[in-house]
Each structure stands twice: as structure tokens, then as C-alpha cells.
Amino acid sequence: MATTNDHPGEQAAQDPVKLIGIRDSALSLDEVFRAVGDDAAGGTALFVGTVRNHDGGADVEELGYSCHPSAEAEMRRIAEKVAAEFPVRALAAVHRVGDLRVGDLAVVVAVSCPHRGEAFEACRKLIDDLKHEVPIWKHQRFSDGTEEWVGAC
């Protein structure tokens, strides 16, 4: 009998980046989840970033996301880097731009791997790196009439 690591399902897929996108319309959890489906994956981790009603002690009314034209290419670069570091079977990431309200989905990422631990680690690395490296900016508008720009997502 072959050892566990000898099975092809234990290895990263040939082309694991299944969905990368910047969207100006509502994001779909189902779309992202379907994109990372893989019969060899024993674990799928999904992260959903939503617009919250506060930040830094102030009440958030709404916000807008904008991005540099290179944002989607940067998302793909980061996704490929994460896929090279973990045994990723499938990976997806979509980010919203435009005006959003409290409760709206701002970003959805998912990673499937042979095992849950790898999926959790890869998903966390993916969202953390996207947040720090992709040129997406958030313009928050507060209930007191003030506003602020926040770099990255």
C-alpha cells in the first residue's frame, strides 16, 4: 500500500487558482465555494469580509472601495504565491469595489487543500497578504459627517 503522501490528491493541483476578480456588483459565497470544490480536498476554508458598523470608535454609515488598475493582477500574483507555499487543490478570491453599506460583503476568499490545517493556514495567508499588498483603498464615511481613506483593503 502506498504511503499517504504518495497519493496525487495529497499534492497541490496543477493549476489551483480557479477564480480571481475585482467586482463592482454583489459578491457570491456560492460562486467562491463552488470554485474551490475538489474531490481530493478534505478541507476548505472560507473567509468573508463584511462592512462593519464601526471603526476606531466611530459609527460607519457606508464606505467605498477603489483600486488601482493592477489590483487584479496583484491578487493573482499573491494567489499563485500562496498556492506554491501550500498543497492547494483550489483557490479563489474576489473583492468588491464601489459603494457598500453596512453588512455588505467586501471580500471573499477560499482555499481547499487535502487537510483542514493546510486549508486554514493557506486561507489566512491569502487574506492577510491580499490586505497588505493589493492596491485597494477604502473610503469610510462616518455618521458624524467625517470621513477617512484607509490604504489597502
Please name the residue that has the C-alpha cell 484607509.
150
Instruction: Output the CA torsion 63→149→105→51 (10° steps).
Output: -70
Could you read off the pLDDT of 93-138 as tens digits, one per residue? 999 999 999 999 999 999 999 999 999 999 999 999 999 999 999 9
3-state secondary structure labels for all residues of 37-102: CCCCCCEEEEEEEECCCEECCEEEEEEEEEECCCHHHHHHHHHHHHHHHCCCCEEEEEEECEEEEC
Q: How many CB atoms lie within 10 A of CB 151?
A: 9
Could you read off the pLDDT of 68-92 as tens digits, one per residue? 999 999 999 999 999 999 999 999 9
Q: Please compute Rg for the chain using Cα positions.
A: 17
Question: What 3-state class would DSSP assign to 111?
Answer: strand
The C-alpha angle with vertex 64 and arms to 60 and 68, in degrees rounded to 5, equals 145
Global confidence as pTM: 0.91
Q: How many CB atoms lie within 10 A of CB 48?
A: 14
Question: How far is Cα of residue 1 from the mean position of the Cα atoms in its chain?
Answer: 38
Cell of 112: 481547499
Question: What 3-state class would DSSP assign to 32?
Answer: helix
Confidence of residue 37 (pLDDT cuts 50, 70, 90): very high
Confidence of residue 54 (pLDDT cuts 50, 70, 90): very high
